[in-house]
Chain A
């Protein structure tokens, strides 16, 4: 299917575990982003990537790692999950040039 897809949609993990959230887009957009949505905070940027092998930190990057070996994939890894990382995570992509970003459906992550 064309578009941007995230997997899994729902995940429960234990404190201290490593977990990876997947993001795949079929548009060949240059830019990809990871946001988290929390009540009272809106959407906050975790990491973004301008192209394959180019990534940079966002506002709330501590405890997260990303990679982008291929243009279409942008996985987000929580190295050692904490309860404060319980959130809804959104991946987005954009062709750049000041156009809008397109979001995936989100991954609801619960850390117990």
Chain B
């Protein structure tokens, strides 16, 4: 039972345009969500997070939106740069539980 789903295995975006990566979850207990970025042969690195008490969190070019009623979150990258080409994982957890549940990942390719 996949509690965190990333339905797009891959996404290609032109450099300078907006990249939108989507994530859905089924567990209503999840209240903290994170995005990780992963380059080949490296470990995932934390990118941005959002608590369920917010619907938006912004950090530079990266914005995460949370729609609790739809159990959906998205990561927006504006403008997209070649260095953004990586696999992006969505993750979720519930308060007091330090375990992260990950999605299957989306491979983002930025086309120069």
Residues on A facing B (Cβ under 8 Å): 31, 33, 35, 40-45, 48, 50, 58, 90, 92, 94, 96, 98, 100-106
Residues on B facing A (Cβ under 8 Å): 4, 6, 32, 34, 36, 41-46, 49, 89, 91, 93, 95, 98-105
Identify which of B34, B42, B89 contacts A42 (C-beta below 8 A): B89
Docked Cα-Cα span, A105 to B104, in Å, equals: 18
Most chain B CB neighbours (cut-off 10 Å) among A94, A98, A102 = A98
- Write the chain B residue with the least CB distance to A44: B102
**Shortest beta-carbon distance, A33 to chain B, in Å?**
7
Q: Is the CB of A31 within 8 A of B98?
A: yes
- Write the chain A residue with the least CB distance to B35: A100
Can you list 14 contacts pairing A with B, beta carbon distance less than 8 Å?
A42-B103, A42-B105, A44-B102, A45-B99, A50-B98, A58-B99, A90-B44, A98-B95, A98-B98, A100-B34, A101-B100, A102-B46, A103-B45, A105-B42
- Write the chain B residue with the least CB distance to A97: B98
Q: Is the CB of B43 within 8 A of A48?
A: no
Q: Is the CB of A98 within 8 A of B32?
A: yes
Q: Is the CB of B46 within 8 A of A96?
A: no
Q: A31-B98, A58-B99, A98-B95 are in contact. Are A41 and B104 (CB under 8 A)?
A: yes
Most chain B CB neighbours (cut-off 10 Å) among A90, A96, A101 = A101
Q: Is the CB of A90 within 8 A of B43?
A: yes
Give the residues in chain A near B103, CB-CB below 8 Å.
Answer: 42
Across the A-B interface, the 5 shortest Cβ-Cβ residue pairs: A103-B43, A42-B104, A43-B102, A100-B46, A42-B102
Docked Cα-Cα span, A45 to B99, in Å, equals: 8
Docked Cα-Cα span, A104 to B102, in Å, equals: 16
- Write the chain B residue with the least CB distance to A96: B98
Q: A33-B99, A42-B89, A50-B98 are in contact. Are A104 and B104 (CB under 8 A)?
A: no
